[in-house]
Amino acid sequence: MSKFVNNIDEFFNFCKQNEVIFVDFRFTDMIGTWHHITYNIHSIDKETFNTGIPFDGSSLQGWQPIEKSDMILKPDVQSAFLDPFTADPTIIVFCDVYDIYKGQMYEKCPRSIAKKAMQYLKDSDIADTAYFGPENEFFIFDSVKIVDTAHCSKYEVDTEEGEWNDDKEFIDSYNTGHRPRKKGGYFPVQPVDSLVDIRAEMVQTLEKVGLKTFVHHHEVAQGQAEIGVKYDTLVEAADNVQIYKYIVKMVAHLNGKTATFMPKPLYGDNGSGMHVHMSLWKNGTNLFYDKEGYGHLSQTATHYIGGILKNARSVAAFTNPSSNSYKRIVPGFEAPCILTYSCQNRSASCRIPYGIEKNSARIEIRFPDNTANPYLAFVSLLMAGLDGIKNKTIPVGPMDENLFDLTLDEIREKGIEQLPHTLRGSLEALIRNNAYLKPVMSDLFINDYQHLKFETQVWPVEARPTAYEFKTCYSC
């Protein structure tokens, strides 16, 4: 992300030049939700950036008890940018959370954990920089309806691109008949691609707030889209995901539509992922490149892959942290769950992109999705990869065949692990296997995180009957 200010003096000069009235301080909770508190510009000064902003930590899921609820937001002035949507000039500033009781950065603050991970990387002497390039896919719908009560549970999403609208009578328009249809949305031109203009508006807004984009296109599913944003260092890349999701949802909202990063909103069509590209650098040199290696990857990169795949079942508790995540990572929808690696092969969990050279050598992990808290997802991938480098872990593979064609017996015969098939499985893996995370995640954080996920995702979903269960069990 481009920086608009570099220090506190520049911040206040920037605010004056842009006639800023409000300062919006934002921070991220454990599940990845962006929160904010807004101050009149006249009520803050340079000292505010040192003393911080007080707030109630007990009102956030999984954070502080009510008897120890006072916390401090520490603004990161270099993250500031103008909000493109507010009626009055408003500047947004990312914040980290400070624990007044322990006198340290809060151990449950995802952004603080990400900063701790970057310091750990530098102290390890393995590398000094980690680059992350997430690919965030999303859906744009015309409407969504949700019912969740004791006697009724249903949802309905709609988009004019949906093939279910082939015979619909439109009140203010007409039925064009031009639709991508199931799994047919990859790169068609208008009028089949009906989202060109709204994606372009999203791109221009992202550029306006400092994100560098390079591509936008329709994705495979009906109503699905993707915008390519340039990679960045770990913390900044996670910041960019928060901005990206905010911009996409707000532009859709202001156009009378609704955008969602939910992994699997449509049954039988492709879901939305967050493929993550990664590389490690030291003293300006890409540690993942070796011209003679498989796919031009170095042994360091191979060990990094080995660490991720070895620990993937617990990593998934952070990269795929919703019950809906596991409805996406099933064979046949370009969302792999088979833990091996390959060149250009999108059926493998780790893909080595085509045509990489010295400065572009990287790996792509394909199973994460957008329900992930980006800070925690990137940290867990980094720490798993570093664990692989330290232990010289050799991944299973490479395997260049279509892995979706393999039967379960063939997968077992080849000795390939798979991701868990449920969030419960990932959380149980995290409970058993978390030593690689301990340098940056405390026991308290890991314990409270998995408890929060059980309480808000696993148990509520397991307790609810579904429409399909009525269809298959009602006449038993």
Residues annotated catalytic, as ranges: 56, 135, 137, 219, 226, 275, 346, 364, 366
Q: What is the DSSP letter of 456?
A: I
Buried-state track 216-237, b at ≥16 Cβ within 10 A, e below 16: bbbbbbbbbbbbbbebbbbbbb
Q: What is the DSSP string of 31-69?
A: T--EEEEEEEGGG--TTHHHH-EEEEGGGSTTS--GGG-
Q: Is residue 224 within 8 Å of 260, Cβ to Cβ?
A: no
What is the rounded CA–CA span in Å between residue 382 and residue 189? 38
Q: Please tell me whether 58 is known to bind a ligand.
A: no
CA nearest neighbour of 426 among 348, 339, 319: 319
What is the rounded CA–CA span in Å between residue 419 and residue 329? 9
Q: Please tell me whether 346 is known to bind a ligand.
A: yes
Q: What is the DSSP string of 345-368?
A: -TTSSEEE-TT--TTT--EEE---
What is the rounded CA–CA span in Å between residue 394 and residue 131? 22
What is the rounded CA–CA span in Å between residue 76 and residue 425? 37
Q: Please tell me whether 277 is known to bind a ligand.
A: yes
What is the rounded CA–CA span in Å between residue 37 and residue 97? 13
| The Cα angle at residue 281 between residues 278 and 286, in degrees rounded to 5 | 85
Place of tokens 């993942």: 288
Q: Please tell me whether 137 is known to bind a ligand.
A: yes
> Which residues are CB-neighbours of 129 under 8 A, at least 6 positions away?
121, 233, 280, 281, 282
Computed over its alpha carbons, how large is the radius of gyration of the chain?
Answer: 23
> Which residues are CB-neighbours of 215 under 8 A, at least 6 positions away?
227, 228
Q: Please tell me whether 79 is known to bind a ligand.
A: no
Q: Please tell me whether 236 is known to bind a ligand.
A: no
Q: Please tell me whether 334 is known to bind a ligand.
A: yes
Residue ranges for the known binding site are: 135, 137, 219, 226, 270-271, 275, 277-279, 328, 334, 346, 364, 366
Which residues does the annotation place in the binding site for L-glutamate? 270-271, 328, 334, 346, 366
Binding site listing for Mg(2+): 135, 137, 219, 226, 275, 364
Residues placed in the known binding site for ATP = 277-279, 346
